[in-house]
Amino acid sequence: MMHGRVKVKSTAQQEEEKRKEKEEKLKAFVTARDAVLKKRSAGEHDEEALQLTRQLLSSNPDFASLWNYRREVLLQLETSREKDEVQKLYESELHFIEACLKVNPKSYGCWHHRTWVNTRLSQPDWTRELGLCDRCLSLDERNFHCWDYRRVVVKESGVSVEQELQFTDRLIGSNFSNYSSWHYRSTLLPQLHPQPAPDSAPNTSPSPTTSPQAHSHRVCEEQLLKEYELAHNAFFTDPNDQSAWFYYRWLLGRAEREEMISCVYVSREGERVSVAFSKPVHAQSEGLMLVLDGQPQQVEWRSTHPRLRHSPVWLCDLPPGSISDISNEHNLTIHWTEKHTHRDCALYTGCAESWCRDSATDQELFRSELSVEKSSVLQAELQSCNQLLELEPQNKWCLLTIILLMRALDPLGHEKETLTHFQALKEVDPMRSSYYSDLCSKFLIENTILKMEYAEVRVFSLSNKNLTTLCHLDQLLFVTHINLSSNQLLRLPPQFAMLQCLEVLEADDNAIESLEGLYHLPKLEEVSLRNNQICKLSDLELLASCTKLTRLDLRGNPVHRTAHIESELSQLLPLVTALSL
Amino acid sequence: MAAEELPSQFDVVILGTGLTESVIAAALSRVGQNVLHLDRRNYYAGNWASFTFNGLLSWIEEYKNQQEVQITESEQVWRSLIDEGEDVVPLSSVDSSISNLEVFCYASEEEEKEEEAKGLLTSCQPMNAETVSEETAGDSTVTGDDATAADATTQNEEHKFSEPKEEQHTSDISEPSQSQEEKDSQPISSPADPPVEVEKKITYQKLVKEGRRFNIDLVSKLMYSRGALVDLLIKSNVSRYAEFKNIGRILTCRNGKVEQVPCSRADVFASKQLTVVEKRMLMKFLTFCLDFEQHPEEYKDYIEKPFRDFLKNKKLTENLQDFILHSIAMVTQQTLTEEGLKATQHFLRCLGRYGNTPFLFPLYGLGEIPQCFCRMCAVFGGIYCLRHSVQCLVVDKASNKVKAVIDTRGQKISCSHFVVEDSYIRDEQRRSTVYRQISRAVLITDRSVLPSESDQQISLVTIPPLESSAPAVRMVELCSSSMTCMPGTYLVHLTCSSSGTAQEDLAPVVSELFHVSTIPGEEPSEGAEERSKPAVLWVMYFNMRDTSALDSSSYSLPSNVHVCTGPDGSLGSDCSIKLAESVFQHILPDEEFCPPAPNPEDIIYDGDGPQAEGHGFEESVNTEAEEEGAAHEKSPSTESSEPAEMDSVTQQAPSDTTPSTEE
């Protein structure tokens, strides 16, 4: 026989014991809870209440009602105690909360209560609170409850921005995958190292010709170079970690375009004014004023499509007869009073229409996505990224960042490389291939717009570019011909109704199912939609709102199988004289 | 007297309390084997032991005396105990595993004047009861060691929680069993406020006076956080008896300059000496190593070639090749690719489990670990005697198996297996008497080889061979919060495989990295280059026999004698743990090796209801112990009792540790 062998309880015995223990605990908890709630409804605010809630909260710190009750009790006790005693009361409360945080460091109730207790103290010990945050964050660096609380502590105690920046240094040093720390850094840097104000005096009367980009939240170049290095260190160490890449993209800058009226278009036909803004607005609430030949006009602004409540393009009709006479010259001004900006437009004798706008040069329109940095800096960054790409040809973050840098530097010059990189991106990250397709479509449309700008034409061709989506349609306000053939479009979105001057639409060989955007296009005469996916007659109903439409090509669409299609269509669109099915 | 007699029968007698023997003892006892565990020394752990500074001085003294004293053997004593059909295999009574011991002191010998006035440190109580027992207890038991081991927190959790605190860390978790007074005094002398100490010159007197603060290991090893030892500590619940600190950084020495080796992701990110491209190359290579078996095409052409060539082929810069070869894989120029990859992989898999490096170090020194296993053995009924050895084995001629041993007191104790540490084996039983040797140096220095923000880091320093013929040297620098040296000093261990004496092998490295003064107490002249190097206050060189390459075929002994080789020269302890497991399996092929020890509250004690359990067990063991005359381990229920009770236990401890069996 083996003596000395220790006998151990069987699993069943252990489990039974545990079960009993649990049961007893539950019973005790429920009894105490009921007692506390009864006390509260009886309005009793005494020491005993603190004691009872303490017991319950130490095992379940997430019981919000109990914290509320405690606050009531404490406020009550405050009125009847000496200052010293009150101080002690709250000090012990802080100790108690700390114990509760050990049970659950992510308890909303605890952190909220702690914030409250500090407001009751005449001189809260912020150093201790900061220490508490540090300890909590070192255990779980992504505990957002603690981050939130820390922000309060930092604000209240006036910790210097410099110290806070060092704090992020430390956190990033111990784990650079923690985006909370990078983000915090991005809020501190502009405070500590702001970009010096530009030499030119601040614009007292912003005119549409000044730079459309606002340089807010930027960091001085010297510091920026250090930050680029920090980000390089992170993404060269681990190129698959997104935190550093996001921070890097923030560094490269996301300038906001200045808010302005980018275009005013006026047409004698229909006596209509179209206004394009630099961002989607709600015209009725923006304080727009239209002045015609020195006379403010009462006009009603409407968006180009009922589904667009916020839109970059708004329309209004002038009072009948006000500009219809082609032998008269008119001066039109749109004031955007909210933003203290305006735009003039002159309609000369003999002209049926007129517009006034800035030339949409690349710098102004599309670089805002990435950077306001000097191109020499961007060039250097592009080199670094290319170096990394050589080592990591499969890295999606690197590929995408390179694409963005190339766009910031020279979108047209880099178009071919950009397309190759997009192809690579779709292969290495197939889960997001649709996103990349849409992004690529966007860039191609931007490039086409830029080319059009240089050529100053009103004919816009986007055929055969693998487009999956349409965007920047507000930039195409006065385009008369658009060719979207041979792409992968599924719809003409509501924004398509912004093409107020459109006369001819070619969209053959796509997969278009919806024509939502062909809505009240006053000049649209011809639409070619061969080989698309239009199935139902109802999909074509909106075309009736385009009153000038006379030619419609629907060959190769499933809709031709609909019974009596021809007669139905001629009833729906009586003006269409050339219909191909 | 009956109390002096040991029981005459055991399942297994184990001689030697080094790591391997102690693990075997714990494993056997855990599954119900009746174990007698002996050691001829008056301290635990054999060549794995840790000493206070004063304890080490006595050890050195003993070593010197042993060289002179002729051992006389008293065959007559046991002759009479041998029966018909029995043969005798005598064991060695001399330990010759240590050689070439040299000691040099560079600390000033003069008295300090202000010392008494300061009094901060001198007022401190003895560090722990264990050191007391080491020095005073003769034929003693593990009982005294309760003092170090009462905390049952598992090592895992312990670490997670204590890691971020860094400085407070050690004082927080130190010595749960210290008396309240000691606890209070701890923070005063804790590493958190060393400036006073740093400024002061440390004299030899000071080292002696503060000697109890040192825990100087004879063997310098670290624990790979996913190595066999850590796994075993966790699996067996033995981890509850010890506490650990992370190694903070890994350093290397290149061109005479000490620099940090970037080995974790955070290190690579923060490294100032690597270019971003190097960072990428290094990370890429390390990521590949993590699952290199999945990509055989990457290295198949290099299987027969050195790892170094493979690194070159991977277009790693020389910088990176050095880091990987010497500091991460820690292999030699000749190591083949696959072994190098495996070593790198092991290193990487250990990263991040407990911190930024792959290594842990037990607080109070490596000597704690064998004692933890002894304690486990004692909990399950093992009997311990120090300063108590075996003179000879009694072999049954017919079966050629050991059937009994005759101890140094002339008692014949029968057993079915005998486990023994190599140093007890006589040359006659060996097939070869040529050994490998390990060269060791132990230094006490006044500052870190690479001062940084935190002066309380343990550093592993890998030193590539200074000349191509010289061996690579491994250095471990321990800070005072590891509880191995007094505040204001660092304890530095150097280890390499020997090509000459320890001093010949290691003195060049010591003078490369440290300031070794020519006159004791002399300060390096101001502004000199030497000024930047830490000064050596005290140094000891010795060689230790490395028997790790031996196996059962190296001895001519009966098949139920299991020889445990001593510590090997490698950084980890895997070799010793694997040996322990294989010996255990040899003895008990059908039993599990070190299954988790049950929680004390789950142990059932005969005839007692659950309420009385603690008491019942203690009493029964007490009685047994009195009868057998051997002191015993405290019952596990006492360990797990509430802190209040624990204190009272600790207070009793000293009386337990002064047994009547002292010779």
ipTM of the complex: 0.77
Gap from B169 CA to chain A (nearest CA, Å): 12
How far is C-alpha A149 from the chain's CA centre?
A: 26
> Which residue of chain B has the CA closest to A231?
B269
pLDDT tier at B486 (50, 70, 90 boundaries)? very high
**CB-based contacts of A376: which residues, under 8 Å, 6+ apart?**
none
Whether pLDDT at B606 is above 80 = no
Q: Which residue do the tokens 């603190």 mark?
A: A50
| Contacts with A, B 11-30, CB within 8 Å | 29
Q: Which two tokens stand for residue A403?
A: 């694409």
Residues of chain B neighbouring A135 (CB-CB closer than 8 A): 164-165
**Which of B270, B276, B603 shows the shortest C-beta gap to A236?**
B276
Res A359: pLDDT: 65
Other CB atoms within 10 A of residue B167 CB: 15
Higher pLDDT, A58 or B655: A58
Q: How far apart are CA A526 and CA A114, in angstroms?
A: 69
| Contacts with A, B 165-184, CB within 8 Å | 165
Res A216: pLDDT: 55
Q: How far apart are CA B625 and CA B638, in angstroms?
A: 17
Q: How many beta-carbon contacts under 8 Å exist across A and B?
A: 77
Res B128: pLDDT: 40
Instruction: Write the single-letter amino acid at A404.
Output: L
Are A6 and B265 within 8 A, CB to CB? no
Give the largest CA-CA distance in chain B.
79
Q: Where in chain A is the domain with CATH 1.25.40?
A: 19-124
The ranges of chain A with pLDDT < 70 are 1-8, 197-217, 254-256, 359-374
Domain A261-357 sits in CATH at: 2.60.40.1130
Domain ranges of chain B: 9-95+364-433+548-587, 264-350
Res A194: pLDDT: 83
3-class state of residue B262 by DSSP: coil
**Which of B161, B165, B598 shows the shortest C-beta gap to A8?**
B598
Whether pLDDT at B130 is above 90 = no
pLDDT, tens digit, 9 for 90 and up, residues B207-229: 999 999 999 999 999 999 999 99
Are A174 and B266 within 8 A, CB to CB? yes
Whether pLDDT at B172 is above 80 = no
Q: How far apart are CA A226 and CA A222, in angstroms?
A: 7
Whether pLDDT at B448 is above 70 = yes
> Which residue of chain B has the CA closest to A229?
B276
| Contacts with A, B 266-285, CB within 8 Å | 266, 268-270, 276-277, 279-281, 283-284
Residues of chain A neighbouring B602 (CB-CB closer than 8 A): 8-9, 14
Are B280 and A391 within 8 A, CB to CB? yes
Domain made up of A458-579: CATH architecture? Alpha-Beta Horseshoe (3.80)
Q: Where in chain A is the domain with CATH 2.60.40.1130?
A: 261-357
| Contacts with A, B 365-384, CB within 8 Å | 380-381
The domain over range B9-95+364-433+548-587 is classified in CATH as 3.50.50.60:
yes
**Which of A3, A14, A135 shows the shortest C-beta gap to B602?**
A14
Q: How far apart are CA A497 and CA A477, in angstroms?
A: 9
Mean per-residue pLDDT over chain B, rounded: 79
Of A136, A144, A129, A148, whose CA–CA distance to A102 is shortest? A136
Residues of chain B neighbouring A174 (CB-CB closer than 8 A): 266
Are A392 and B270 within 8 A, CB to CB? no
pLDDT tier at B2 (50, 70, 90 boundaries)? very low
A373, A218 Cβ separation under 8 angstroms: no
**Which of B29, B269, B598 shows the shortest C-beta gap to A176?**
B269
Higher pLDDT, B337 or A364: B337
**Which of B283, B603, B606 shows the shortest C-beta gap to A238?**
B283
Residues of chain B neighbouring A7 (CB-CB closer than 8 A): 603-606
Bridge partner residues of B585 (DSSP): none
Higher pLDDT, A367 or B456: B456
Res B140: pLDDT: 37
pLDDT tier at B532 (50, 70, 90 boundaries)? confident
Q: Of all residues in chain B, what percent are helix, strand and coil, respectively (each to 5)?
A: 40, 20, 40
- Alpha-helix runs per DSSP H in A42-107: 47-59, 64-79, 83-103
Q: Is 0.80 topped by the overall pTM? A: no
Half-sphere exposure for A525 (CA within 13 Å, toward CB):
6
**Which of A6, A173, A232 shows the shortest C-beta gap to B266?**
A173
Residues of chain A neighbouring B605 (CB-CB closer than 8 A): 7
Residues of chain B neighbouring A175 (CB-CB closer than 8 A): 266
Res A457: pLDDT: 80
How far is C-alpha B419 from the chain's CA centre?
A: 20
Average pLDDT, integer, range B18-42? 96
| Contacts with A, B 146-165, CB within 8 Å | 160-161, 164-165
Regarding the domain with residue range B264-350, which homologous superfamily does it belong to in the CATH classification? Answer: Guanine Nucleotide Dissociation Inhibitor, domain 1 (1.10.405.10)
pLDDT tier at B258 (50, 70, 90 boundaries)? very high
Gap from A134 CA to chain B (nearest CA, Å): 9
Q: Which residue do the tokens 């009596």 mark?
A: A564
Are B280 and A3 within 8 A, CB to CB? no
Residues of chain A neighbouring B283 (CB-CB closer than 8 A): 236-238
Half-sphere exposure for A535 (CA within 13 Å, toward CB):
6
Phi and psi dihedrals of A226, rounded to 5? -65, -40
Of B248, B319, B228, whose CA–CA distance to B461 is shortest? B248
Percent with pLDDT over 70 in chain B = 73
Res B119: pLDDT: 39
Domain A19-124 sits in CATH at: 1.25.40
Res B631: pLDDT: 35
Lowest mean pLDDT among A14-18, A121-125, B422-426, B524-528: B524-528
For chain A, say whether B290 makes contact (Cβ under 8 Å): no
Res A262: pLDDT: 86
Instruction: Write the single-letter amino acid at B294.
Output: Q
Query: Which of A146, A174, A233 is the best mutation test for B, with the most CBs of B within 10 A?
Result: A233
Lowest mean pLDDT among A191-205, A481-495, B160-174, B455-469: B160-174
Residues of chain A contacting B, Cβ within 8 Å:
2-9, 14, 135, 138-139, 173-176, 232-234, 236-239, 384, 387-388, 391-392
Res A42: pLDDT: 93
Which DSSP string do the residues of A29-45 spell out, in sequence order?
Answer: HHHHHHHHHHHHHTT--
Bridge partner residues of B494 (DSSP): B441, B475
How far is C-alpha A82 from the chain's CA centre?
A: 52
Whether pLDDT at B432 is above 60 = yes
Q: What is the DSSP code (8-state) at residue B396?
A: E
Residues of chain B neighbouring A138 (CB-CB closer than 8 A): 164
Gap from B602 CA to chain A (nearest CA, Å): 5
Other CB atoms within 10 A of residue B49 CB: 26
B241, B375 Cβ separation under 8 angstroms: yes
Q: Where in chain A is the domain with CATH 3.80.10.10?
A: 458-579
Question: Alpha carbon of A7 to those of B32, B379, B598, B607, B640: distances in Å?
Answer: 10, 13, 9, 12, 17
